[in-house]
């Protein structure tokens, strides 16, 4: 958020945050004032000095957990984000995903696995995918190769939901997994449900994975997109309204969940884990 703001208003090299830090505005306008005055008079401003003056860096932490069993060289990884926007509690976005992962991790302890299963609860997603970006960036080539697949679970219970599947047929993102996409669409069909496709638009934590050659995908139930008449016919709900009318707002509380969608999607997540914990048959080596 802040880096976009800065790029819009300042010259100088800002780039992306390379450290695993969440950047927030300082409270004090007086810190920014001298810099803004300079900008208004057309003077050049040292961008990094401006950042130092008004930004407070806060360290954040991804939580990563991996099965003790299973081939540690062949892992299926899945993630949701544990942060919310500052504006609200983030129960659908992404309490729905992170809690689903927690529940499945707990149940998984009762089973043995062939492939290792690695869970991630990402930090700083809402500040620009900071946690997942950092995580992928610090993997050695060897560690990168161990992650055979990444599955993104962000917003699973939108109140005016659609069953959305990231579509791997997207030349910009060759690592979008067609096998995973087909697992999802097959699951929805087997449960008598429709689905739609959404593009990999870089707005969730799969992004760093597919940009770094790790096959990935995921599902979602919709954010600030508007449901069409056709989608209302496919999924029920209200055409002309956001999938999640409390998206990034104070009202994203426990009352902002469609429990039917959450239950089916929790089963889908469990199915995806169960499938790839057993075998990567049919996957690219
Ligand atoms: N990742 C977005 C968020 O956390 C939500 C989103 C996901 C929007 C996928 C569009 C597509 O706010
Ligand atoms: Zn969000
Ligand atoms: Zn989210
Ligand atoms: Zn509404």
Each residue of 183-208: pLDDT tens digit?
999 999 999 999 999 999 999 999 99
Distances (CA, A) of 136 to 79, 207, 225: 13, 10, 28
Residue 125 is a catalytic residue: yes
Residue ranges per domain, the chain?
2-59, 63-278
- What ipTM does the predicted assembly reach? 0.90
Architecture per CATH, 63-278: 3-Layer(aba) Sandwich (3.40)
Point out the catalytic residue in the list 33, 125, 179, 263. 125
| CA angle centred on 191, ends 188 and 197, rounded to 5° | 15
Q: How far is the CA of 223 from the centre of ligand 4 (A)?
A: 12
pLDDT band for 171, please (50, 70, 90 cuts): low
pLDDT in tens, 14-57: 333 334 444 454 545 677 788 888 888 888 888 888 877 777 77
Residue 162 CA to ligand 1 centre (angstroms):
14
Q: Which residues line ligand 1 (CB under 6 A)?
A: 93, 125-126, 154-155, 203-204, 220, 223
pTM over 0.90: no
The bridge status of strand 115-122 relative to strand 147-153 is unpaired
Which atom of ligand 1 lies at the shortest distance from residue 198's CA? 11
């Amino acid at each position: 958020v802040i880096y976009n703001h800065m790029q819009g208003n300042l010259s100088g090299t800002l780039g992306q945050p390379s450290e695993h830090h969440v950047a927030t505005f300082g409270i004090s306008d007086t810190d920014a004032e001298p810099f803004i005055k300079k900008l208004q008079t057309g003077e050049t401003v040292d961008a990094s000095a401006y950042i130092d003056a008004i930004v407070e860096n806060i360290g954040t932490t991804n939580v990563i957990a991996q099965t003790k069993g299973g081939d540690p060289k062949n892992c299926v990884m899945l993630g949701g984000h544990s942060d919310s926007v500052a504006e609200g509690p983030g129960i659908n976005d992404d309490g729905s995903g992170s809690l689903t992962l927690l529940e499945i991790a707990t149940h998984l302890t009762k089973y043995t696995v062939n492939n290792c299963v690695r869970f991630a609860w990402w930090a700083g997603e809402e500040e620009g995918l900071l946690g997942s970006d950092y995580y992928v960036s610090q993997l050695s080539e060897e560690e990168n190769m161990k992650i055979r697949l990444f599955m993104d679970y962000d917003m699973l219970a939108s109140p005016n939901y659609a069953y959305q599947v990231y579509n791997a047929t997207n030349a910009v993102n060759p690592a979008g997994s067609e096998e995973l996409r087909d697992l999802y669409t097959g699951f929805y069909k087997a449960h008598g449900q429709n689905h739609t496709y959404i593009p990999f638009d870089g707005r969730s934590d799969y992004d760093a994975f597919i940009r770094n050659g790790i096959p990935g995908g995921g599902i979602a139930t919709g954010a600030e997109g508007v449901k069409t008449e056709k989608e209302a016919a496919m999924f029920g709900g209200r055409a002309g309204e956001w999938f999640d009318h409390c998206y990034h707002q104070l009202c994203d509380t426990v009352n902002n969940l469609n429990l039917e969608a959450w239950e089916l999607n929790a089963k889908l997540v469990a199915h995806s884990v169960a499938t790839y914990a057993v075998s990567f048959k049919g996957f690219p080596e």
